[in-house]
Amino acid sequence: MIKLLKVQLKTRLSSMWFIAAAAICLLFGIMFGTGHSRPVTEDFGYQLEDMPYIIAVIVCGVLAAVFIGSEFQEGTVRSKLTMGYSKTVFYISQLLFMLIVSLILFLLVTVPYFLMAYKNFFSLFSTEYLIKAFGLILLSMAGCSVLFTLVCMSIRLRTVSIIICAALAFGIDIASSQLSRDILKPEYTEAVYVDMEESGNISYQTSTIAKSTEYIEKPLRDFMKASYYAIPISGVKQAGIIISTEIMAFSDKDKDKVTDYYEENKYLWDKDFALETHFELWRYPAWLIPEMIVLTAAGIIIFRKRNVY
């Protein structure tokens, strides 16, 4: 296993594909870091951007497709299996390699991002939240790598895998955003009626609370929540939210302040889900780690059952 992994690192990390991918991640890290290096004047709106990490996830998918696809296209998988490596060992070595690649890509985005915007990072964000956020991002990228490895080991064709992995990365990103938006829709909405005078002064104002037609009821709600946590990229998006400056102000120590904030805005967002995503971060690993184990087991079973040509 170690030998296989070493060879993977040696042969693939020096390829033009990896160099190009590393350059893209580095570029986005620098770009977003530069964007965040300006002085912050507003209380709101300063967040850890999820975009460079989403790009890193897409790049990771493309690399998985190229590297795993090449094993099958160049036939090197045959020589490895012929020399006695089992299919399970081969699969796990590919997965470990992709996990290492995702870690490298994460660092390539994060390090320049940090270096360019370090003043804002350390003045606005607490170490605790930074660790939580980056932990979530790393876990998400690992989850995506597991998914990409499964897809590429099943498809085996480089070009088709590239298209599918890129589409998958975009797809899960859109799905995660959409799910989050839909679940956050409040159960009740407030309609405000205002009568205004000619001068522009408000003469009469009233509001009514009504059940929202957009609110998603159980059991579909539970299914959508489970899907949201199960989508690997959700962690990246959540990391961006939880270390925003506004959340910093709340912090875990001042949980009541957060609860009050969402209580005040309960007609804008679903309070329960909002609080859940801020404080119950265990939900991500609780869903994602078993999912990663199941996907890996499924991938190994499929690879062992299928013939190698």
Partner 1 sequence: MEYVLRTNDLQKRYHKYVALDGATMNVPKGSIYGLVGRNGAGKTTLMRVVCGLQEPTNGSYSLYGIDHSERDVVKSRRRMGAVIEKPAIYLNMTARQNLKVQYSLLGLPDYEGIDKLLELVGLSDTGKKKARRFSLGMKQRLGIAVALAGSPDFLLLDEPINGLDPQGIVEIRELILKLNHENNITVLISSHILSELSLLATHYGFVDKGRIIKEISAEELEKQTRKCIKAKVSDTRALARVLDKIKLEYEILSNEEAKIYGRISITQLTKSLMDEGCELLSVSEADESLESYFIDLVGGGNND
Q: Which residues of the chain form contacts with partner 1 (CB under 8 A)?
A: 3-4, 6-7, 10-11, 15-16, 74-86, 307-309
Two tokens, residue 49: 């951007």
State in angstroms the smallest separation of the CB of 145 from partner 1: 22
Rounded CA separation 287/254 (Å) = 27
* CB closer to partner 1 out of 103 and 308: 308
State in angstroms the smallest separation of the CB of 58 from partner 1: 23
* CB closer to partner 1 out of 74 and 222: 74
Q: Which residues contact 77 (CB under 8 A, 6 or more apart)?
A: 71, 90, 308
Locus of tokens 């869903």? 287
Question: ω before 219 within 30° of 0 (cis)?
Answer: yes
State in angstroms the smallest separation of the CB of 84 from partner 1: 4
Sign, CA torsion 51/55/270/252: negative
State in angstroms the smallest separation of the CB of 82 from partner 1: 4
* CB closer to partner 1 out of 46 and 91: 91
* CB closer to partner 1 out of 45 and 75: 75
What is the DSSP code string of 119-173? HHHHHHS-HHHHHHHHHHHHHHHHHHHHHHHHHHHHH--HHHHHHHHHHHHHHHH
Q: Which residues contact 1 (CB under 8 A, 6 or more apart)?
A: 89, 92, 93, 96
* CB closer to partner 1 out of 2 and 192: 2
Rounded CA separation 14/118 (Å) = 30
* CB closer to partner 1 out of 1 and 209: 1
Rounded CA separation 293/276 (Å) = 24
State in angstroms the smallest separation of the CB of 300 from partner 1: 15
State in angstroms the smallest separation of the CB of 11 from partner 1: 6
* CB closer to partner 1 out of 38 and 78: 78
State in angstroms the smallest separation of the CB of 83 from partner 1: 6
Two tokens, residue 211: 């059940």
Which residues partner with 227 through β-bridges?
A: none
Locus of tokens 């299996």? 81
* CB closer to partner 1 out of 47 and 93: 93
State in angstroms the smallest separation of the CB of 89 from partner 1: 10
Rounded CA separation 99/108 (Å) = 14
